[in-house]
């Protein structure tokens, strides 16, 4: 597998550091996924050559069409007709006679190569479309670029980068990955992800963890060292990517890959044991999910509840919002399948970096804009459709509801008023629901963390959304690689905010959980437990490791850790304390039990 085509060239063996967002080590060839065509190369042709060039263009069109039809069929069979429709739009664009006529005429008239002419004309169309004042249409520019990419690749004789047609699985390399890029990826075709930008919470990271694939994001400028087809070692345990490794490195990593399998097996064997510290404190673990299908695995492999169901994934990539009935069916199945455990359904959290296809995303600063509960409250009829669907599902299991992006008391009251209206509507129709469903809010805005004592009387629980809480506290855009270092989960201010929320929750007899990525960072788990947060919800892939850790520490030591952390003035000091904690109390954390 690790055969080298470099007979004369020495291996580059470049180690590029990034951020590990999903654990594991893999080795394989790089496959670029992206829409950046680069500058078109221009060459002059004779009249005779131009006529041949038209033929070459027609051939590339035919090839592209065949590939697309094949793809469409494959996706329809493997994934479903709905997803396959993406390719109808592609095929239609390819069939645009006006465009192809224009390209052919221009090749003859201007006597230039097909790539050059085609790309120039395509760019003109995409520019015209990008000016259209309709987000639906602007979304389609991505489709057009996909088609253009495919045709140009066929013109250049390059293999089309269809992950579905791969003989071997590859490591996907991209500037960033969008939901439309990953929609049809499966574990059989993909070894892992490497991206130039991004963080623990970007889509690539979330998808990688959902698919249980290793991923390293935020490679920054060293990303440019990677070329399509390069051999890569993706070491998401250490957070590095090794580009074009030498034989020695490959050998070393083959051993490591073998070891990690043993380690993962061992982790799995501990899953059935109770989640309890050495001094007998029970900790509640739960899983964050975004796709309803994930629930089966959560139930069978982990036996925990759902601490966060991100309902927005029912809305994203859909031409229109799902109806009450459609939503109800999804929520009901979740509730039934996870029973006797509970599921926390978070109402639509759109905005920030996630948008509906129907929504204008032209805010200058979307993370400070119309998102989460703000959007729901601005559209009460759509909000109530979701509330009714969730209420109806509550009759079929243990369902809890949670509102995202709360920053004021008025928002809580208003959301509750709509919930009450939804209840009354159901009463009037004689539809059953659970009357005392737990209601919670996300604490992810510093204002809400500080206002917790005023919010507490209105809710049953708080859920700490640390990803956004960190971002808003430190005023750092986590997707901006230049300031990504400021995204500091151990910042002393964050500890103060969390302590305040926990304190208020205990005082008011409310429960508090954490559903940010912080909960799955094994070095931070002792800190979280020590703060008094005993419910942790995370991507399922992190559950085995966190469980192993919890079973190896004492709550007593974790509380001491917090006492020391309170004295710190910098994130680095707190992080050092946390790292030392692991070294002192669980030195065998990353080792498998049998030592050979």
Partner 1 sequence: MKTEQELFRSFTIHNQLGMHARPAALLVQTASQYQADIKIIRDEEEIDCKSILNVMTLAAAQGATLKFVARGEDAENALNAIESLFEDKFGEA
Binding footprint of partner 1 on the chain (CB under 8 A): 88-89, 92-93, 95-99, 125, 128-129, 132-134, 136-137, 139-140, 144, 319-320, 358
Which pairs from 31-34 meet CB under 8 Å and 24+ separation? 31/161, 31/163, 31/166, 31/170, 31/171, 31/172, 31/173, 31/228, 31/229, 32/161, 32/173, 32/174, 32/228, 33/161, 33/163, 33/172, 33/173, 33/174, 33/177, 33/181, 34/174, 34/175
* Strands annotated E in 175-261: 190-195, 215-217, 231-235, 240-243
Residue with Cβ nearer partner 1 (301 or 358): 358
Whether the CB-CB separation of 107 and 95 falls below 8 Å is answered with no
Using CA atoms, how far apart are residues 348 and 383, in angstroms rounded to an integer? 8
Q: What does residue 132 show for φ and ψ, rounded to 5 degrees?
A: -65, 135
CB of 132 or CB of 368, closer to partner 1: 132
Cβ atoms 315, 278 nearer than 8 A: no
Q: Is 515 tagged catalytic?
A: yes
Helices (H), ranges, 394-510: 409-429, 446-450, 452-455, 466-473, 492-508
CB-wise, 103 or 494, nearer to partner 1?
103
Give min distance, CB of 398 to partner 1, in A: 34
Question: Which residues are CB-contacts of 496 (< 8 A; sequence separation ≥ 6)?
Answer: none
CA–CA gap between residue 5 and residue 218 (Å, rounded) = 28
Nearer to partner 1, 42 or 96 (CB): 96
Annotated catalytic residue within 90, 203, 491, 534: 203
Q: Least distance to partner 1 from the beta carbon of 96, Å?
A: 5
121 vs 257, beta carbon nearer partner 1: 121
In the complex, minimum distance from the CB of residue 547 to partner 1, in angstroms, rounded to a whole number: 46
Q: What is the DSSP string of 487-531?
A: --TT-HHHHHHHHHHHHHHHHHT-EEEE-SGGGG-TTTHHHHHHT
- Helices 135-156, 47-78: crossing angle, 10 deg rounding: 120
Q: Name which of 54 and 129 has its Cβ closer to partner 1.
A: 129
Closest contact distance (angstroms) between CB of 94 and partner 1 is 9
Taking the complex as a whole, how short is the minimal distance between the CB of residue 99 and partner 1, in angstroms? 6
* Pairwise CA distance, residues 334 & 588, whole Å: 37
Closer residue to partner 1 (CB): 140 or 434: 140
* Torsion sign over Cα 132, 133, 134, 135: positive
The catalytic position among 90, 491, 515, 578 is 515
CB atoms within 10 A of CB 523: 18
Give, as one character, the DSSP assignment of residue 2.
-
- Of 98 and 563, nearer to partner 1 (C-beta) is 98
Which of 90/398 has CB closer to partner 1? Answer: 90
Distances (CA, A) of 497 to 74, 449, 466: 50, 6, 10
Q: How far is the CB of 382 from partner 1 (least distance, A)?
A: 13
Query: Least distance (Å) from partner 1 to the CB of residue 373?
Result: 24
CB of 144 to partner 1, least distance (A): 7
Q: What number of other Cβ atoms are within 10 A of residue 291's Cβ?
A: 13
What are the CA-CA distances from residue 260 to residues 85, 213, 237, 380, 592 (Å)?
39, 13, 10, 50, 8
Smallest separation (angstroms) from partner 1 to the CB of 140? 5
CA angle 257, 220, 171 (to 5 degrees): 35
Say whether 168 is catalytic: no
Catalytic residues: 203, 515
């Amino acid at each position: 597998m690790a055969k080298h085509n470099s007979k004369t060239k020495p291996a580059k063996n470049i180690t590029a550091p990034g951020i590990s967002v999903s654990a594991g080590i893999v080795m394989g060839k790089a496959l670029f996924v992206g829409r950046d065509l680069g500058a078109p190369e221009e060459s002059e042709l004779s009249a005779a050559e131009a006529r041949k060039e038209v033929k070459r263009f027609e051939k590339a069109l035919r090839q592209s069409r065949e590939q697309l039809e094949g793809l469409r069929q494959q996706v329809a069979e493997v994934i479903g007709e709905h997803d396959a429709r993406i390719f109808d739009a592609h095929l239609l664009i390819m069939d645009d006679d006006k465009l192809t006529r224009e390209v052919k005429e221009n090749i003859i008239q201007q006597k230039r190569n097909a790539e050059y002419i085609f790309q120039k004309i395509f760019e003109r169309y995409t520019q015209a479309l990008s000016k259209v004042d309709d987000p639906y249409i602007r979304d389609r520019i991505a489709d057009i670029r996909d088609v253009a990419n495919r045709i140009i690749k066929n013109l250049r004789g390059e293999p089309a980068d269809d992950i579905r047609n791969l003989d071997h699985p590859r490591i996907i390399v991209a500037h960033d990955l969008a939901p439309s890029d990953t929609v049809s990826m499966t574990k059989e075709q993909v070894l892992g992800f490497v991206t130039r930008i991004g963080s623990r919470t970007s889509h690539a990271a979330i998808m990688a963890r959902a698919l249980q694939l290793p991923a390293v994001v935020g490679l920054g400028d060293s990303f440019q060292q990677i070329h399509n087809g390069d051999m890569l070692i993706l070491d998401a345990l250490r957070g590095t990517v090794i580009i074009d490794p030498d034989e020695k490195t490959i050998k070393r990593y083959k051993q490591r890959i073998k070891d990690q399998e043993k380690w993962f097996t061992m982790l799995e064997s501990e899953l059935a044991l109770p989640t309890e510290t050495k001094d007998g404190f029970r900790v509640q673990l739960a899983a964050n999910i975004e796709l309803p299908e994930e629930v089966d695995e959560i139930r069978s492999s982990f036996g925990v509840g759902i601490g966060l169901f991100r309902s927005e994934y029912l809305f994203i990539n859909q031409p229109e919002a799902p109806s009450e009935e459609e939503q109800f069916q999804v929520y009901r199945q979740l509730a039934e399948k996870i029973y006797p455990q509970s599921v926390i359904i978070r109402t639509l959290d759109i905005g920030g970096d996630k948008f509906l296809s129907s929504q204008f995303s032209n805010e200058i600063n979307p993370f400070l804009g119309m998102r989460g509960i703000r959007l729901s409250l601005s559209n009460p009829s759509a909000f109530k459709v979701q509330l009714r669907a969730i209420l109806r599902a509550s009759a079929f299991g243990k369902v809890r509801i949670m509102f995202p992006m709360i920053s004021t008391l008025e928002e809580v009251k208003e959301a509750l008023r709509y919930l009450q209206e939804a209840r009354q509507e159901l009463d009037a129709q004689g539809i059953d629901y659970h009357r005392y469903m737990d209601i919670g809010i996300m604490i992810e805005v510093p204002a809400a963390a500080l206002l917790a004592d005023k919010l507490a009387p209105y809710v049953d629980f708080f859920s700490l959304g640390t990803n956004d809480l960190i971002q808003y506290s430190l005023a750092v855009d986590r997707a901006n690689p230049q300031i990504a270092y400021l995204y500091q989960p151990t910042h002393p201010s964050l500890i103060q905010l969390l302590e305040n929320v926990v304190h208020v929750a205990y005082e008011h007899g409310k429960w508090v959980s954490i559903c940010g990525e912080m909960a799955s960072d094994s070095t931070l788990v002792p800190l979280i437990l020590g703060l008094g947060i005993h419910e942790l919800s995370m991507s399922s892939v992190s559950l085995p490791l966190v469980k192993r850790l919890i079973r190896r520490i004492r709550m007593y030591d974790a509380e001491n850790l917090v006492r020391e952390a309170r004295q710190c003035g910098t994130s680095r000091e707190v992080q050092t304390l946390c790292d030392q904690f692991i070294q002192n109390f669980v030195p065998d954390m990353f080792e498998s039990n049998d030592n050979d």
